[in-house]
Structure 1
Amino acid sequence: MFSRSRRATVLSIAALGAAGLILTGCNSSGSAPSTPDPVASESNPVASATATGAAAQIEQAAQNTAASGSAKMAGTMTTTGAGADQTAKFEGAYDFNDQSMQMEISGGLFEGTQKAEMIVIGGTSYVKMPGVIPGAEDKWIKTDIGEMTGTDIDPQQSLDSLKEMANLQEAGTETLDGVETTKYTGTMSLDEALADSGVTSTAVPKNAAADMTVWIDNENRIRQIKTESKVAGVSSVVTMRFYDFGVETDISAPPSDQVIDSQELTKGLTGGQSIPTP
């Protein structure tokens, strides 16, 4: 079986994949959150106007970010608790037009030059995790996200789930990469956000929530997202930064002889092992 720290690493990567799905997911109903924002209320019109304005700002910024066509991204992912304290770094790019994403993940259990890699093209993901999954040390693990979630990923609707944020408020300004940004804070229901993106996960309990911080630049684009959550005794902080909007990308699926299907791999696992998925 996986050690606790190794399983945490795999779960963290899966969680990052889930975050990617949230970022690229489309709210199929196109509706506002089902639960009213507690900050916005008739009894407090000033707070209501502020929250409504912040929500509109974030939603428009999400649309502008997707309209840029592509962007590079980088960030960190820290987990603490359950004997799994570790920090990983990731970097890569989104191509919203081609519905594709590519990233490399280092740190954590990936020591030295070892890196985990993730590619998402349309409704298919490929993940390569050297030394983590028995039987797939040098293979790309292929998963059909459409079959797994019952919906397709639509990067054109990128960042759409951010409109599920509640308790919104402006939190000042901050300079990121030499660019002045406005910061907004709020909360998000993890299970609802995943559900709205068509993702199901037994690892996320009902009513689990995350603290969110979003940075928006003066061109009204998302510059950074920070998500802080605690699930099953493990705390995680994921910070994802966007830059080089409109960058040229070259993302393609790995060669077929280097790919193994996740279902095929699962059949070969014994002793209660499994492949965690978002």
Structure 2
Amino acid sequence: MHMRVKGTKTGAIVVSAIMGSVVLSGCGGGGESEAKGSNASPSTSGSDGAPEQSTTEVRAAYDKTAEAESARMTIQMKLSAAGKTITSDGKGVIDLAEGDSVMTLTVQDKSIEQRVVDQVLYQKSPDQKAPGGKPWIKIDLKKVAAQQGMSNQQIGDPAQTAAYAKAITDKDVKKVGTEKIDEVNTTHYKVSVDVSELPGGDQMSKQLGPTLPMQVWLDDEGRLRQQQIDMTVKAPASAKPGNSAPPKQLKMSTVMQFSDFGTEVDAEAPPAGQVADMTDKALQNSQQPS
């Protein structure tokens, strides 16, 4: 899901942040987080050993979800920057072991076909004009992550989710209550991840802040049924002489739901002759002056 917001330098990191969350990296976002549609009453986890138990359950959730191998996924996202907001909704299937996915997105009332295969993002839109008249564009997410000083884990490496689990401690997890998500009983937790404990944490801290708050809803088998991330990404300040403008910010709210575990996923790259490689352009866009 590649959405570039003009006037910011955050286009590339948005891609990596979104893909990280989509492939169950366990990575959240900076900023205050409020549950959407929550009807649970908050509860503290400071007694009866609850903090340790909650932490264990949340830390194990990503591995348990990945063990399902695949799932149907829906995602709702809102990006806000410079007084403008972009909304998108998506639905499709995801391979939880490899990170590949096939989705249909609706962005600002426009339909986009999207595939992720081997950490390469492919998109096709009816009104898209790719170089050479080709219907598909592609962006190599590994290169995008590398420019941002991140490891592949930030764009979705399910085999490395333990790195995120280790960054969650007892004091970072609070059990909120129980709720139904799509008619499934779940337990709702608020989680805070220490960015400095993550691979590439030093670079991430500069743009995301010291902690990554997120919310997760786990089913009775300990699998992730819903995840909410409210992220604030800070764009680097311009180096122009005399520039006193504050760093620009992009706010991103993402809610994902998972269901139908074990469903079939058939993610194949489009024929090479139908694809225009936009990776370099995406990298250039992320380096343009504010």
Once residues 166 and 87 of structure 2 are traced to their aligned partners in structure 1, the CA distance between those partners, rounded to angstroms, is 28
Identity of aligned residues (%): 24
Q: Which residue of 2 aligns with 1:120?
A: 116
**C-alpha deviation, 1:258, in angstroms:** 1.7
Aligned-partner SS, 1:116: strand
AA partner of residue 248 (structure 1) = E
Q: Which residue of 2 aligns with 1:139?
A: 136
Q: Which residue of 1 aligns with 2:239?
A: none
**C-alpha deviation, 1:256, in angstroms:** 0.5
- 5 Å matches for 1:230-249? 230-232=232-234, 233-249=249-265
- 1:130/1:162 Cα in 2 relative to 1: closer, same or farther (>3 Å)? farther
- 5 Å matches for 1:36-51? 46=46, 49-51=49-51
**C-alpha deviation, 1:94, in angstroms:** 1.4
Once residues 49 and 133 of structure 1 are traced to their aligned partners in structure 2, the CA distance between those partners, rounded to angstroms, is 57
AA partner of residue 169 (structure 1) = K
Q: Which residue of 2 aligns with 1:87?
A: 87
Which 10-residue stretch deviates more, 141-150 or 89-98? 141-150
Among 239, 258, 262, which residue is 2:274 paired with?
258
Contact 2:11–2:282 (8 Å) recurs in 1: no
Q: Which residue of 2 aligns with 1:29?
A: none
Contact 1:124–1:146 (8 Å) recurs in 2: no
Superposition TM-score, scaled by structure 1 size = 0.70
Contact 2:90–2:105 (8 Å) recurs in 1: yes
**C-alpha deviation, 1:190, in angstroms:** 5.2
**C-alpha deviation, 1:99, in angstroms:** 4.2
**C-alpha deviation, 1:259, in angstroms:** 1.8
Once residues 215 and 251 of structure 2 are traced to their aligned partners in structure 1, the CA distance between those partners, rounded to angstroms, is 16
Equivalenced residues, count: 245
Gaps of 5+ in 1: 27-44
Among 3, 6, 10, which residue is 1:4 paired with?
6
- 1:266/1:7 Cα in 2 relative to 1: closer, same or farther (>3 Å)? closer
**C-alpha deviation, 1:273, in angstroms:** 3.9
Residue deviations 1:145-186 (CA, integer Å, cap 9, x gap): 279545575435558635534521100000011111000002
Which 10-residue stretch deviates more, 45-54 or 226-235? 45-54
**C-alpha deviation, 1:216, in angstroms:** 0.4
Q: Considering Cα pairs closer than 8 Å and 6+ residues apart, tell me whether 1 or 2 has the greater RCO.
A: 2
AA partner of residue 258 (structure 1) = Q
Once residues 260 and 8 of structure 2 are traced to their aligned partners in structure 1, the CA distance between those partners, rounded to angstroms, is 33
Aligned-partner SS, 2:84: coil
Superposition TM-score, scaled by structure 2 size = 0.67
Contact 2:120–2:138 (8 Å) recurs in 1: no
**C-alpha deviation, 1:59, in angstroms:** 2.1
- 1:258/1:213 Cα in 2 relative to 1: closer, same or farther (>3 Å)? same
- 5 Å matches for 1:45-60? 46=46, 49-60=49-60
**C-alpha deviation, 1:102, in angstroms:** 2.4
- 1:142/1:174 Cα in 2 relative to 1: closer, same or farther (>3 Å)? same
- 1:162/1:126 Cα in 2 relative to 1: closer, same or farther (>3 Å)? farther
